Structure 1
Amino acid sequence: MLPEKTRDKITQLYGPAQTPPLAGKIEDLLGRYSSLMPSGRAAFLSERDVMLITYADSLRQPDAYPLQAMTRFAREYFKDIISIIHILPFFPYSSDDGFSVIDYRRVNPAHGDWSDVAALAEHVDLCFDLVVNHCSASSKYFQGYLAGEPEYEDFFISLDPDTDTSCVLRPRTSPLLHRFAGAAGEKWCWTTFSADQIDFNFHNPAVLLEMLDILLFYVWRGARIIRLDAIAYLWKEPHASCAHLPQTHTAVQLMRDILDLAAPQVLLLTETNVPHADNISYFGDGTNEAQIVYNFPLPPLVLYTLTAEDAAPLTRWAQTLEPVSERTTFLNFTASHDGIGVRPAADILSPAEFQGLIELAERHGGQVSCKHDRRGNAIPYELNLNYFDALNNPHAPAADQTEIDRFILSQSIALVLMGMPAIYIHSLLGRRGWPEGAAQTGHPRTINRQKLDLEQVRRNLTEKSLPTGFSRSAQVFQRYLDMIRQRRRQRAFHPRAGQQVLDMGKSFFAVLRTALDESEAVLAVHNVTGRPQRLNIEPGRLGPVPPGQGIDLISGQKISPDVNGSYQLDLPPYGFLWLKVS
């Protein structure tokens, strides 16, 4: 029988009359999957966990399905490096590079099949997307709805086109309602993101039950982490904002309850690219919603820091980060399959600083995606360009080594902060953008989604082309792997290890991480400028760890304090160190 707290959530969503029948169906669902669930309770995330974000077909080979090519690459390069791979939606789809799902229970046959997913899971843990807010217009759900099939009645939301929806928060500029021809006449259906992505109606308990079924199906198929895509918009009320509604949080809590009952080792990751306070609200009370939340302000703030040579806003924001509970943490990243979301930084940067990012993206060959506010004004929400290109103008002559140093420093920041790092495959491989692809598809996000030939990637990782030696891709990849290896060895980088962000002036971003047992500390100091900098670390800056001989984990150089217990650090342009003191 479901716990009382779970039944209470059902009542909150659907009322007391619906609670007994829906609770019974959920109990039946749990019973059906009980023998299929992985056994054991895995430990929470540790300093050894690093996530790779990739499409199933980011790497291709002529003699293999893309999932098989990814497994070959993981087997060859990722041992003791990457512990989790987030495979972006790998199901049959009709648009949006996978996020318009046609069939939630099948692997896209162009990518492989479930046996290929299982083969990859032998080498790494996996994160799957549950595209919970909407499905493809070509899905059996929506086609059945239009045909008037009783099973899919009320699976979607149809409104009179004259309904006042002005209160609804719009993440896109497309119409909220789109017209479709159904067996019983035309229907104007709710479409938050596009005409091909039809929003589910969670007022219908059958929709929730189907999503819970898919949730458990993914666990059975090997997911250790479930990413809840676009979860903020799940619950709809025509005269409300329809973002972060209390019912949405209750639905997330219900999913967490079901996983805690069936597979407590599986973690929820919420995708809510919104201002920081709204974003971290999906931690709930620290025990009842998502265990992992994206650190969405990080990508635009790091970009500002390195292009303006000013760490002050990043430092002020990072000083506000606090652990929520022993079972929650942040996902720290700089790039993903989407663009660089800027709305989370709008309340942190000044208007002039924010506008500077918009202008920088345009100068660097990117595009700026906008949404409309309630007055119809265009509001930038995303910069569509590759992160390496955001930091280094692809159209301007520059010293290649400086470009690489600047980029690697940006990735170090994400690696040292409290939480688990996540790395987009194009960042790991040191790739630049693909504007030709964006021009071909007409979709700005394509600029950061190029599919790569695995053999060419292998050649790029060993070739020499720069005056300094190895190519950009080879240098970025090797330096990234070296940082990850060091990170995985340090207890001070545990997701729950202590964190103190130190204000050392606008030229530096500095983070002190202290192991849970206070036996070691790592001080990560970044020179965010293109000029050499000297920094004096005074006694007491290393928290509970007394001054002693330290070692820079990046260079291997030993660093000793002077007679006063201070460390004198000399950092080259865009240089950084991870000073470990035990």
Structure 2
Amino acid sequence: MKNSHILSDVLAKHRFLNNPHDQSFLKRLQQHESTINGLYVQLYGDTYAALFLDQLYRLLINTHVERAPHFKQRDAQKAGEQKWFLSNDIVGMSLYVDRFAGSINAMNQKLPYLQQLGVNFLHLMPLMESPADASDGGYAVSNFRKVDERFGNITDLKNLQQNMQQKGMYLMLDIVLNHASNQHEWAIKAKQGDKKYQDFFYMYDDRVVPDQFESTMPEVFPESSPGNFTYVPELNKWVMTVFHHYQWDLNFTNPAVLIAMLENIFFYANIGVDVLRIDAPAFIWKQLGTTCQNLPLAHTILQLIKQCVNVATPGMALLGEAIVAPKDIMKYFGEGAFYANECDVAYNATQMALQWDAIATGDTTIMLAAQQEILKKPYGTTWINYTRCHDDIGLGYEDEMIAQAGYNPYEHRKFLMNYFSGNHAYSSASGALFSVNPKTNDARISGTLASLCGLENAINNNDAALIETAIKRIIVMQACAIFYGGLPMLYYGDEVGYTNDYSYLNDAAKSYDNRWMHRPIIDWQKNDLIQTKGSIEQRIFEATQQLITIRKQLPAISDLKNIHWLPPHNIHVAGYVRHTADQHIYCLFNFSNEVAFLTWYAFKSFSKNLTTVTDLVTNKTYNIGPDAAYLILEPYQYLILTTA
């Protein structure tokens, strides 16, 4: 490559100390130089290489120089471990700081509560400045480097990170690469006529090109934000706005945008972020004649970012928030020469949705059919496994999986939408449909874990039996996710059974988005009920706490690509085996409201000489019976059975 001299020219202008951290950095830099150059040219060609590659390498060097010594030491420690984020010892929680604790400073006082539960990894939902009346829950960022005053300031965040690190806890924050708020400095300058910053976005003088894009681009929010372009009167131009009209899509075909966003990525790295969650990476590259989603050059950008992070801040892992079909999400872990070297972590959205499918139908057949694709995840990468999050529940798994289970895909999804929105005779769920597409009748689902499992309905009707059933549903869902492997991520409030919060309807900035019903404001008097024996809160908290404790005692639950699913001996029971050389752990979950019978033969294909198994939940030991005999699982019962 004709630009191979660029790094040597940049290095000639810097003096490095002869210490281990500097030498390790230089070694990484030289090892990755050829790959970085190649990816950059693949994106932009040689035309921009001399100018922007020089900036990129100077950025990597400055990031290393500015990185605090204790973060460099932590990088070295993580490098000596077997992919630290694969460990069975890590359990996370995702939360909104203001709605959970009030402020970043107040989060420090809540860490003991989280430690009591067993949580040692926190995903703090978007903290950076965003307009109060047009924030998209914090994903419309107006300043990538300023904490929103509603939460505190950057010093507060750094102090919290240090406190968490001292307690052995990990931190995950979000960065939005696809777009910025229309009140970001770049957008403001663009509206003032600054051509440099107009080129940071997709802007057009008329509808000719936008209409060409629209002919192949789907709509993300057809109800609240139809179309993919917004007319901006100050500019007399059309701006690409794939999500909401106040979120302007960044133009990564401009290398200046890539450099600017890399600067923001390293800002997060150097405040001590352990995992950086890249929001909506599927959208970051646009091309006429395509859906503008999951394009090959979007992966090239992520691969380049990963190479740069490996050089300058190697202790920080990357999570790609791509909520797509299983065969597509695998690409975000990397393919070909970048196999397992693109994103380290991804959301197991398919497994999450299939758990909801199973809880509605009592049938795990579709879940089992999906595992062939899900298990293709590369060794050394991991999943976020979860039952709920801040977002809606999509039903995006493929029609073939539904048909393979004997259902009509259209009618099956219609049933699920009716079931979870409470519009089915046999449903006790209290949810709502989100982003209904009138053209296709597709929709997604909003609601808390507890409400979708029937707890809200049961409490409103003072139905003790239904409360009992709802609690069992909640815990079997959590158990399945916690033992699946990867990094289990609880969603705040679920650990004590929060039901839907309808106060969002009284807030004009939120009332159009029913996802706010499952983003509760924590009432700490309610959470204090975990101390009251027999309360709903205590029962759910204690059961969740027990699951976490058991998980941390079992190295086999580490994500070592060591999961095997049991054949479908009973359609109501989801079962998988996690194993090491000397131990097999059978994880069984009855998703039905009826007693399920599982033949002992199901165990013997994995452990030929098996005679007994012990349930770590109840400490009950079972003698393995003959092939024609059965293990009995009560409705919504789960068993974590160990062979040693």
TM-score (norm 1): 0.92
Runs of 4+ in 1 over 6 A off after TM superposition: none
Pick aligned residue for 2:520 from 450, 456, 459: 450
Q: List per-residue Cα deviations over 1:155-204 (Å, max 9, x = no partner).
A: 1111222332211232221221111133xx41110000111111001111
Q: What do residues 473-509 of structure 1 show as CA deviations (whole Å, max 9, x unaligned)?
A: 2211111111011001101101114111112221211
C-alpha displacement of 1:58:
2.4
Shift of 1:549: 3.5
The secondary structure found in structure 1 opposite 2:107 is helix
Equivalent-residue separation in structure 2 for 1:309 and 1:493 (angstroms): 25
Q: Report the alpha carbon displacement of residue 381 of structure 1 after superposing the two structures with TM.
A: 4.2
The CA deviation string for residues 32-84 of structure 1, in whole angstroms up to 9 with x for no partner, is 11133321341312111112111121223xxxx52223222222332682221
Which of residues 383, 386, 391 in structure 2 aligns to 1:330? 383
**Is residue 179–residue 186 contact of structure 1 (8 Å, CA) maintained in 2?**
yes
> 1:512, 1:542 within 8 Å by CA — same for their partners in 2?
no
Note the residue ranges of structure 2 that are not aligned, 5 or more in a row: 1-6, 8-28, 403-408, 423-428
Whether contact under 8 Å (2:570, 2:596) holds in the other structure is no
Q: What is the 5 A alignment of 1:84-163?
A: 84-94=121-131, 95-121=135-161, 122-123=163-164, 124-159=169-204, 160-163=206-209
* Rounded Cα–Cα distance in structure 1 between residues aligned with 2:117 and 2:395: 33
Richer in strand (by share): 1
Instruction: Please give the per-residue CA displacement for 1:201-222, whole angstroms capped at 9, x wherever unaligned.
Output: 1111111001101111101011
Q: Is contact 1:59–1:69 with CA below 8 Å preserved after alignment?
A: no
Q: CA–CA distance in 2 between the matches of 1:565 and 1:343?
A: 38
Quote the Cα distance in structure 1 between the aligned partners of 2:368 and 2:588: 12
1:47 aligns with 2:92: no
User: Which amino acid in the other structure matches residue 449 of structure 2?
Assistant: Y
Contact kept, 8 Å, 1:235 with 1:242, in 2: the verdict is yes
Query: Of 11, 15, 24, which aligns to 2:54?
Result: 24
For residues 283-304 of structure 1, the C-alpha deviation after alignment (integer angstroms, 9 at most, x for no partner) is 1123321111111112221112
Deviation at 1:347? 5.0
**How far is 1:99 from its partner?**
0.6
Task: Say which is worse superposed, 402-411 or 231-240, in terms of deviation.
Answer: 231-240
Change (3 A) 1:496 1:323: farther
What residue in structure 2 maps to residue 558 of structure 1?
621
Report the alpha carbon displacement of residue 114 of structure 1 after superposing the two structures with TM: 2.5
C-alpha contact (below 8 Å) 2:599/2:627 kept by paired residues: no
1:13 is displaced (CA, Å) by 0.9
Q: Please, which moves more after superposition, 84-93 or 387-396?
A: 387-396
The alpha-carbon distance between structure 1 residues 269 and 379, as it changes in their structure 2 partners (threshold 3 A), is farther
Q: Distance in 2 between matches of 1:120 and 1:87?
A: 11
Aligned residues: 564
Q: Secondary structure at the match of 2:171?
A: strand
CA drift of 1:575 comes to 0.7
1:391-430 to 2 correspondences below 5 Å: 391-392=453-454, 394-395=456-457, 397=461, 398=463, 399=465, 400-430=467-497
* Residue 415 of structure 2 corresponds to residue 370 of structure 1: no
Q: Which residue of 2 aligns with 1:167?
A: 216
1:230 to 274, 280, 291: 280
Q: Answer whether contact 1:259 1:266 (CA < 8 A) is retained.
A: yes
Match of 1:525 in 2: 588
Query: Which SS does the other structure have where 1:106 is aligned?
Result: strand
The corresponding residue for 1:512 is: 577
Offset, 1:542: 6.2
Maintained 8 Å contact 2:326/2:373: no
The letter for the 2-side match of 1:343 is: G
Change (3 A) 1:566 1:33: farther
Counterpart for residue 538 of structure 1: 601
User: Once the 2 structures are TM-superposed, how far is the Cα of residue 232 of structure 1 from its aligned partner?
Assistant: 0.5
Give the secondary-structure state (helix, strand or coil) at the position aligned to 1:22.
helix
CA distance change for structure 1 residues 79 and 16 in 2, over 3 Å: closer, same or farther?
farther
Show CA shifts across 1:85-109 (max 9, x none). Answer: 1111101112211011111101112
The one-letter code of the counterpart of 1:51 is G
Match of 1:344, SS state, is coil
Q: How many angstroms does 1:559 deviate by?
A: 2.4
Aligned partner of 2:610 in structure 1 is 547
Rate the CA distance shift 1:371–1:35 in 2: closer, same or farther, 3 A.
farther
Preserved contact between residue 370 and residue 379 of structure 1 (Cα < 8 Å): no
Find the residue that maps to 2:378 and give its secondary structure. Answer: coil
* Alpha-carbon separation, structure 1, partners of 2:287 and 2:639: 51
**1:572 counterpart letter in structure 2:** E
C-alpha displacement at 1:420, in angstroms? 1.8
Query: SS where residue 129 of structure 1 aligns?
Result: strand
Equivalent-residue separation in structure 1 for 2:576 and 2:614 (angstroms) = 16
What's the counterpart of residue 553 of structure 2?
489
Whole-Å Cα distance in 2 between the matches of residues 451 and 97 of structure 1?
Answer: 14
Do the aligned residues in 2 keep the contact of 1:107 with 1:113 (CA within 8 Å)? yes
Q: Equivalents in 2 of 1:150, 1:539: separation in Å?
A: 66
**Of residues 103, 122, 135 in structure 2, which corresponds to 1:66?**
103
Does the aligned pair in 2 maintain the 1:527–1:575 contact within 8 Å? Answer: yes
Q: Which amino acid in the other structure matches residue 145 of structure 2?
A: R
307 and 550 in structure 1: CA distance in 2 versus 1, 3 angstrom threshold: same
Higher mean C-alpha deviation, range 305-314 or range 348-357: 348-357
Unaligned runs of 5+ in 1: none
Contact 1:523 1:542 in 2 (8 A): no
Change (3 A) 1:9 1:320: closer
Q: Distance in 2 between matches of 1:25 and 1:268?
A: 22
AA in 2 matched with 1:58: R
1:14 matched to which residue of 2? 44
**What's the CA shift for 1:413?**
1.0
Distance in 2 separating the partners of 1:142 and 1:154: 10
What residue is the counterpart of 1:245 in the other structure? 295
- For residues 57 and 178 of structure 1, the distance between their equivalents in structure 2, rounded to whole angstroms, comes to 31
Are the structure 2 counterparts of residues 324 and 275 from structure 1 closer, same or farther at C-alpha, using a change threshold of 3 Å? closer
Secondary structure of the structure 2 residue equivalent to 1:105: strand
Cα 1:377–1:268 shift into 2, 3 Å: same
Letter of the 2:329 counterpart:
N
Q: Could you tell me how far apart the structure 1 residues matched to 2:449 and 2:198 are? A: 44
Moved more, 139-148 or 155-164: 155-164
Cα contact 2:379–2:561 (8 A) shared by 1: no
Counterpart of 2:208, as a letter, is: D
Of 230, 250, 274 in structure 2, the residue corresponding to residue 178 of structure 1 is 230
More helix as a share of residues = 2
Contact 2:97 2:103 in 1 (8 A): yes
User: 3-state DSSP class of the match of 1:254?
Assistant: helix
CA-CA distance at 1:567 after TM superposition: 8.2
1:238 is displaced (CA, Å) by 3.1
Query: For the Cα contact (< 8 Å) 1:539–1:547, is it kept in 2?
Result: no
Q: 1:499 aligns with which of 563, 574, 577?
A: 563
- C-alpha spacing 1:514/1:434, structure 2 compared with 1 (3 Å): same
Structure 1 residues 269 and 96, CA gap change in structure 2 (3 angstroms): same
TM-score w.r.t. length of structure 2: 0.83
Aligned counterparts of 1:361 and 1:555: Cα–Cα separation in 2 = 31
| Deviation sequence 1:548-573 (CA, Å, 0-9, x none) | 433211112222334x5998522221
User: What code does the residue aligned with 2:638 have?
Assistant: F
Report sequence identity in percent. 23
1:308 aligns with 361
Equivalent position of 1:348 in the other structure: 401
- The residue matched to 2:419 in structure 1 has which SS? helix
Partner secondary structure for residue 617 of structure 2: coil
